[in-house]
Structure 1
Amino acid sequence: MSVGKAVGSFVTVAAILARATAYGVRAALTKRAVERLEKRYHDRADSARYLSEAMGKLKVDEPTTTAYMEVSTLSEAMAANVAGIVGRADSLQANAQGLSEATEAEHGRMRDANRTHTVQMAQAKFIQPR
C-alpha cells in the first residue's frame, strides 16, 4: 500500500507527515459537517412542531396537523441518530489527532535530521531501484 507522495518508490517523510495532518483536518471537517446536519434536523423538527401547533389552533384538519407532528417526531429521532454519529466523529477526530502526533514524534526527528545533517545526500537517480 502506497502512502503519500513518493520519490521513485520511496515514501518521503514530508509526505507521511502531511498525510497524517490531512487526516486530522478531514476528521475535524467531517465532525463539523455532521454537527451542522444535527442542527438542521433539530431546526426542522422545531419548525414542523410549530406548524402543527399553529394549525391545531387554526382548526386545520387533524390528519394534516398529525402529519406535521409526525414529521417533527421523526426529525427529532434523526437528530438523535446524528448525535450518535457526532460522538463517533469526536472519536475519529481524537484518533486522527493522535495519529498526527504519533507520526510527528516518530518521523519528525528524521525530517529534522535531514535538514541539519552535514553529509552530502545521494542524488535521487542514484538511489532509484533498477
Structure 2
Amino acid sequence: MSEGKSVGAIVTYAAVLARAGAYGIRAATTRRAVERLQSRFQDRADSARYLSEAMTKLDVDEPTTSAYMEIATLSNAMAANVGQIVSASDSLTTVAQGLDAETRAQHGRMADANRTHSVQMADREFIARR
C-alpha cells in the first residue's frame, strides 16, 4: 500500500467478498434489462410488419407501406444486435460468478481465520504505514 493511502482505504476481506458477489448480481440484472430491450424491438418489428401488410391490403400508398416494412426490418436487426449483447452478458455473468467463487476460495479462508483465531491482533495504528 502506498504511503498516501489512509487506514480507511484498506479493503476488508468481507468487503472483497461482498463486492465479488455484487458483480454477479449486477450482471444478472443487466442481462434481464437487455432481454427486455430485445423483446421490445421484436414487438415493434412485428407490429410494423403487421401494419405494413394490413395497409398493403387496404391499398395504402407504396411509400408508406414500404416505410413501415423498413421499420420492421430495422427493428429486427436491432433485436438481433441486442441478442448478441444478451449472449455477451451470459459470458459476463459466468465470469462474475467465477470471480465470486475464486474470491471466496482465496480470501474466505483468511476471513475465517481472522474471525476464529485466538491470537490478539495488532492495533491498526501500530501496523499503519507512515
TM-score by length of 2: 0.90
Q: What amino acid is the match of 2:95?
A: N
Please name the residue that 2:103 is paired with: 103
Shift of the alpha carbon at 1:28? 0.9
Please name the residue that 2:75 is paired with: 75
Q: 1:28 and 1:97, CA in 2 relative to 1: closer, same or farther beyond 3 A?
A: same
Shift of the alpha carbon at 1:112? 0.7
Please name the residue that 2:63 is paired with: 63
Q: Distance in 2 between matches of 1:89 and 1:111?
A: 30
Q: Does 1:18 align with 2:18?
A: yes
Q: Distance in 2 between matches of 1:103 and 1:7?
A: 22
- For the 8 Å contact 1:9–1:128, the answer to whether it is kept is no
How many residues were matched structurally? 126
CA shift digits 1:32-70 (9 cap, x unpaired): 111111111100001101111111122111110110011
Please name the residue that 1:116 is paired with: 116
Q: Summarize the alignment of residues 24-35 of structure 1 with structure 2, pairs less than 5 Å apart.
A: 24-35=24-35
Q: Distance in 2 between matches of 1:18 and 1:52?
A: 51
Please name the residue that 1:44 is paired with: 44
Shift of the alpha carbon at 1:7? 4.0
- For the 8 Å contact 1:51–1:68, the answer to whether it is kept is yes
Q: Distance in 1 between matches of 2:108 and 2:43?
A: 45
Structure 1: runs of 5+ lacking an equivalent: none
Q: 1:32 and 1:25, CA in 2 relative to 1: closer, same or farther beyond 3 A?
A: same
SS in 2 for 1:11: coil
Shift of the alpha carbon at 1:10? 3.0
- For the 8 Å contact 1:30–1:89, the answer to whether it is kept is yes
Of stretches 53-62 and 107-116 in structure 1, the one that deviates more from structure 2 is 53-62
TM-score by length of 1: 0.90
- For the 8 Å contact 1:46–1:72, the answer to whether it is kept is yes
- Relative contact order higher in (CA < 8 Å, ≥ 6 apart): 2
